[in-house]
Amino acid sequence: MTIKTIIELQAKPGQRAELMRIMDEIIATMRQVPGFQGISRYEVLDDPDKLVEIAEWASPEARQTWLDQSAETGVLKPLFEILGAPFKALNVRQMD
């Protein structure tokens, strides 16, 4: 069951470029993760410090496994340091 995770990221003021750089590094590691199928990035037109990314996973379990491993390795630590607010993530799947 393919899922998409919609992630809203709010950088500290004026730090969107740095947020994008950090996310690029994280995504580079994700490309090797079993079940990761890709990601798209969107800018928020009325907030220059905000990004939305939509990641596609083969299953909810694949995403959860990556999250668990990321917590252990600390790969997300630089992300947490640049955020101006906690990120929001919403997992969705297409309805039949």
Can you read off the two tokens belonging to residue 14?
A: 């004026």
Q: Is 12 helix (H, G, I), strand (E, B) or coil?
A: coil
Residue 2 identity (one-letter amino acid): T
The reported pTM is: 0.90
Q: How crowded is residue 86: how many other Cβ atoms within 10 Å of its Cβ?
A: 10
Q: What is the pLDDT of residue 38?
A: 96
- 32-80: pLDDT as tens digits: 999 999 999 999 999 999 999 999 999 999 999 999 999 899 999 999 9
- 7-28: pLDDT as tens digits: 999 999 999 999 999 999 999 9
Domain 3-92 in this protein, CATH class: alpha beta
Q: Map out the domains of the chain as residue ranges.
A: 3-92
Q: What is the pLDDT of residue 53?
A: 97
